[in-house]
Amino acid sequence: MTTAEIDEAPPESAGKRPPRPSWHRFALLSLFVAAVAAFYVTGLKEYFAWDTIRAHVDVWQNQVARNFVATATLFFLAYTLITALSLPAAAAMTLLAGALFGRLWGTAIVSGASTLGATLAFLASRYLFRDWVQSRFRDRLRAINDGIERDGAYYLLMLRLVPAVPFFLINLGMGLTPMRVGTYVGISWLGMLLGTFLYVNAGTAISTIDSPRDVLSPMVLGSLAALGIIPLAIRKLVQWGVRARHLAILAAALLIIAIVGLAWRTHTRYQVAESMSLAVQEYTNADYPEDPADRSIHFGQYNDRRLTLLRKDATHFDFILEPTSPHVAKIAFRHVDVSLMTPGLPEWTRHDEGLRRIALTDRQWNRQQVRFDPGSPHLEVTEGNGFETSNLYSAELAKNCLNAGLWEVLLFTNDGSGKALYYQNWFTFPLGHYQEIFEANTGLPYWKHWYYLEHWFDPVGKIVDLDGLRKVEHENEVTAAFDLAEPVIVAGEQVRKRRTTIAENIVSWGDFYGDKKVRFAAFVPPGRYSVHRPWKNQYWRIDRVEKAILRKIVSPATDKPLDELELIFASSKTSDTCRFIVSGFAIEDLPQLVTREFPKGLYMPMGIGVPPFFQVYDDLERNPPDKSPYFSLMLDQQGRWIDHHSLAVDGPVIHRDEQDPDLLHLYLLSYERHSLVAHFVVSIRHGPAASTNNRDDLTPR
């Protein structure tokens, strides 16, 4: 029977209908039941489980890269079947579409497949059950049928826009009504489009999602519900006799209000002045119990400050902490070149879209904390009760590894046992100033880049042209030993951050790669750690070291010959390899240290043209980040950028051995540097050698 016949044929209770062979319906229903049963009995349900999808996403991404058309077609058919059979896997599959095909293609594929699958479910419900339901309950359904014929499209749009209503119920329920197939298809496609995009977009960062249920917040759900009610409300106003002219005036007024509101928000968001008073956020001990900082006994005694920003020229600003109490000092950061703390581009990355995007992303999404010491011409401490003028150890500005504009002020004293934090605030550096400095630094229009700089979107899958970053003069394979039984080494900031690692009995390196669940406190706006949002890892990508390569390279940043080290990893979960590359350093300049002094080595973030995590302002002026030959990257076997944030690696630490200068110690820092997660001992003596773990099989048991 055609869809037109299904649309036009009245229910049996309403008049004559040609009898349909009952065995057709029975066969179709049996096939449906058998397919659903097979999904559970054969174990296919586990194949579509969230943990399984996340574990295999890298393999599938490689298959998509090798044959986009075939994998997209297969995905489309699988998604259509899942939707048609009302199987509980659509949300996970929609997220997977974002990870595999990106925002635009993922949305297009899922939108088409979900609409087709929903239509098939709708037609099956109509063919199997509508006659019986309408015949059995015709009197009770008369009002519903009349309502669907009159306003069904509006009700359907509202239901499609509210993800809280299970879609399979909509598919099956609407099949029992008189709604026309064409109306159902068009409205379903339109109503599901926004939700589809939201899920696909979230799926581009699939490794950060614990569950598909985490994607839609209550605010988003409420907004979608409100959006769905609007068309129905307009329809009701028409039925109540409100004239079309009045509705048009109301709609135009609402549109104007929305446009004016958006324009005003944009204006105020980017509005700047030569002198600005900035709101600051200060946390007490009770407000922020997860804080891993070494807090001074004086913490909380010098709070309630105001922050004034004075623009001196195109890039230089004064940051002035004004006291509100007489015992608190006035502290001013004078003539600070903010362009050194705003994303810029090494000259050699400007003409390559992949390198440019990676450089800007990691420049924004890595922390940069700059220290000003007493006696610096850029630091003034006056007034107050004398404590700060006499005991200030350092005053520091930090650009957070978060959205553009999120900054901090940190003040330290020496309590006798070392550097201790006695004051901290969070503020937003004005985005209008940020925009102007960004454009001056990069020569790029901010409007083309603002979204990923002000939100969390990493350039996953971007091809990295390594030859654009350096030229290799020669290379040789070296030994990289990784003793998984070695106890985890803790020093520096990892000592105070131990309580932000959410795991039990992490004793040796192997514990990060086995079956123990390791999570880290996430770093969230305005710039604090939260144990309530645990950050996952993908250390299974790097649980087997296959090879190490040492290279002599020439960087466009300098004529000095430099070094590069590459570790090639295999995974116990997939057949893929992962390449970790750290480049642009000189081995002879690395300090010789014992392992417990590793923080004194080369301690750097991932990225291209990035500064150290911590730096004195004078050194920052002498060594601008965009002139640095240093870079560090995670790449897949096709040379595509791997999201090291999701992998949960923040950067490398390197130093030479205290006794043997031909031995390098390379450590990997975890997400937010909460912990070291690996220690490789690399012999740089000439000659090929195998890379080793002390345990061949790291597959979780």
Residue 440 pLDDT > 90: yes
Report whether pLDDT(553) > 90. Answer: yes
**Mean pLDDT, the chain, as a whole number?**
84
pLDDT of 688 reads 45
* N- to C-terminal Cα separation, the chain: 55
pLDDT at 12: 45
List the structure tokens of 569. Answer: 């990893």
Task: Count CB neighbours of 377 within 10 A.
Answer: 10
Average pLDDT over residues 54-65: 74
Gap between the Cα atoms of 425 and 287, Å rounded: 13
Residue 449 confidence (pLDDT) above 50: yes
Axis-axis angle for helices 68-84, 50-66 (nearest 10): 150
Lowest mean pLDDT across 12-26, 405-419, 425-439: 12-26
Residue 21 has pLDDT above 60, yes or no: no
Retrieve residue 285's tokens. Answer: 């001990």
504 half-sphere exposure, CB direction, 13 A CA radius? 0
Q: How confident is the model at residue 216 (pLDDT cuts 50, 70, 90)?
A: low
| Residue 655: HSE in the Cβ half-sphere, 13 Å Cα cutoff | 16
- Model confidence at 699, pLDDT cuts 50, 70, 90, reads very low
Q: What is the pLDDT of residues 201-210, one digit of tens each?
A: 777 766 556 6
pTM of the model: 0.74
CB 630, CB 583: distance < 8 Å: yes
Lowest mean pLDDT among 4-18, 21-35, 334-348, 646-660: 4-18
Question: Would you state the pLDDT for residue 637?
Answer: 85
pLDDT grade for 580, boundaries at 50, 70 and 90: very high
pLDDT at 14: 45
- Between 331 and 89, the more confident residue is 331
Region of residue 335 (phi > 0: left; psi between -120 and 50: alpha; otherwise: beta): left
Q: What is the percentage of the chain residues whose pLDDT exceeds 70?
A: 81
> Is the omega angle on the peptide bond into residue 526 within 30 degrees of 0, that is, cis?
yes
Question: What residue type is 525 in one-letter code?
Answer: P
**Distance separating alpha carbons of residues 262 and 284, to the nearest angstrom:** 35
Q: Lowest-confidence range among 317-321, 486-490, 603-607, 682-686? A: 682-686
Which residues, other chains included, contact 442 with Cβ-Cβ below 8 Å and sequence gap of 6+? 343, 344, 345, 350, 360
Range with lowest mean pLDDT among 578-582, 687-691, 694-698: 694-698
Q: What are phi and psi of 28, to 5 degrees?
A: -65, -40
DSSP for 23-77, please give it. Answer: HHHHHHHHHHHHHHHHHHHTSHHHHTSHHHHHHHHHHHHHHHHH-HHHHHHHHHH
Strands 577-585 and 562-570: antiparallel
Residue type, 382: T
Portion of the chain with pLDDT greater than 90, in percent: 50
The pLDDT value given to residue 701: 26
Quote the CA–CA distance of 439 and 428 in Å, as a whole number. 19
Classify residue 452 as exposed, middle or buried by CB count within 10 Å of its CB (0-12, 13-18, 19+): middle
CB-based contacts of 182, cutoff 8 Å, min separation 6: 7
239-250: average pLDDT: 59
Lowest mean pLDDT across 70-84, 241-255, 459-473, 602-616: 241-255
Q: Which range has the top average pLDDT, 213-222, 399-408, 482-491?
A: 482-491
Band of pLDDT at residue 453, cut at 50, 70 and 90: confident
Kindly report, residue by residue over 482-505, the tens digit of the pLDDT: 999 999 999 999 999 988 999 989
Residue range 571-586: mean pLDDT, rounded: 89
Helix, strand, coil tally for the chain in percent (to 5): 45, 25, 30
Check residue 690 and give its pLDDT.
45
DSSP structure class, residue 640: B
Residue 390 confidence (pLDDT): 95
Q: What is the pLDDT, as a whole number, of residue 610?
A: 96
**In the predicted model, what is the mean pLDDT of residues 466-487?**
95
Give the integer Cα–Cα distance in Å for 551 and 470. 11
Residue-wise pLDDT for 154-178, tens only, equals: 777 777 776 666 777 777 777 777 7
Strand order in the sheet with 379-382: 275-278, 306-311, 316-322, 330-337, 379-382
How far apart, in Å, are the Cα atoms of 295 and each of 384, 391, 414?
Answer: 21, 15, 10
Between CA 152 and CA 148 the distance in angstroms is 4
pLDDT band at 18 (very low <50, low <70, confident <90, very high): very low
Per-residue confidence (pLDDT) for residue 16, from 0 to 100? 45
pLDDT of residue 311 exceeding 50, the answer is: yes
CB 647 within 8 A of CB 537: yes
Q: Is the pLDDT assigned to residue 693 strictly greater than 60?
A: no
Q: What is the mean pLDDT of residues 93-122?
A: 88
CB 484 within 8 A of CB 509: yes
Q: Given a cut of 80, is residue 238 above it in pLDDT?
A: no
For residue 180, count other CB atoms closer than 10 A to its CB. 18
Per-residue confidence at 695, pLDDT binned at 50, 70, 90? Answer: very low
Q: Compute the average pLDDT of residues 556-582.
A: 91
